[in-house]
């Protein structure tokens, strides 16, 4: 990687090559609101799709069938530019922090430019699928997380 250390970058300064994992996601006609751009809530759906799609691919497991599941307990998003339809969004997936039962992801959405249109924070807390009580992050998930680039907030 060239340039500044990605761990030292602020949200707006993140670049596509700061992320080891990139996923392409199309916008949909239904994503556009009355103002003619992709509605803000769609950004959260793109983050969710990027993280969970990557987890399924990286673990080779249907994560919905694990004894421990990751529930979203916190999300945030900074918006820097509009998204439109039709376009293909590239979602960068990075790791901000790994705890005993939680994972904090650092995410960015890019269009054709190298500057993000949005940057997000997405927190999973792992719980027992039945008990819904916190449990340690499963080893298969920890192994997958080791492939992500660490991008502190």
> Domain 9-145 sits in which CATH superfamily?
Hotdog Thioesterase (3.10.129.10)
Instruction: Identify the helix (H) or strand (E) that includes residue 57.
Output: helix 40-59
Domain layout of the chain by residue ranges: 9-145
Higher pLDDT, 66 or 127: 127
Question: Is 105:153 a contact under the CB 8 Å cutoff?
Answer: no
- Other CB atoms within 10 A of residue 92 CB: 27
Question: pTM for this structure?
Answer: 0.91
Q: Who contacts 68 (Cβ-Cβ below 8 Å, separation ≥6)?
A: 126, 127, 128, 129, 135, 136, 137, 138
Measure the N-to-C terminal CA separation of the chain; round to a whole number of Å: 19
pLDDT band at 7 (very low <50, low <70, confident <90, very high): low
- pLDDT reported for residue 91: 98
Question: What are residue 87's phi and psi, to 5 degrees?
Answer: -160, 160
Query: What percent of the chain is predicted at pLDDT more than 70?
Result: 94
- Burial classification of residue 35, based on how many CB atoms lie within 10 Å of its CB (0-12 exposed, 13-18 middle, 19 or more buried): exposed
SS (H, E, C) 112-137: CCCCCCEEEEEEEEEEECCCCCECCC
Q: Inform me whether the pLDDT recorded for 1 exceeds 50.
A: no
* Residue given tokens 């999973």 in the structure block: 124
Question: Is 14:105 a contact under the CB 8 Å cutoff?
Answer: no
Q: Inform me whether the pLDDT recorded for 12 exceeds 90.
A: no
């Amino acid at each position: 990687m060239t340039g500044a250390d990605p761990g030292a970058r602020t949200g707006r300064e993140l670049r596509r090559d700061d992320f080891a994992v990139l996923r392409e996601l199309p916008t949909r006609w239904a994503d556009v609101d009355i103002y003619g751009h992709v509605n803000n809530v769609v950004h959260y759906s793109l983050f969710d799709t990027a993280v969970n799609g990557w987890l399924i691919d990286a673990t080779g497991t249907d994560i919905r069938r694990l004894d421990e599941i990751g529930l979203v307990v916190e999300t945030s998003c900074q918006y820097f530019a509009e998204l439109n339809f039709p376009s293909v969004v590239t979602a960068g997936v990075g790791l901000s922090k790994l705890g005993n039962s939680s994972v904090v992801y650092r995410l960015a959405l890019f269009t054709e430019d190298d500057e993000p249109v949005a940057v997000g924070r997405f927190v999973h807390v792992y719980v027992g699928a039945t008990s819904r009580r916190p449990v340690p992050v499963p080893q298969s998930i920890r192994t997958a997380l080791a492939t992500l680039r660490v991008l502190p907030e």
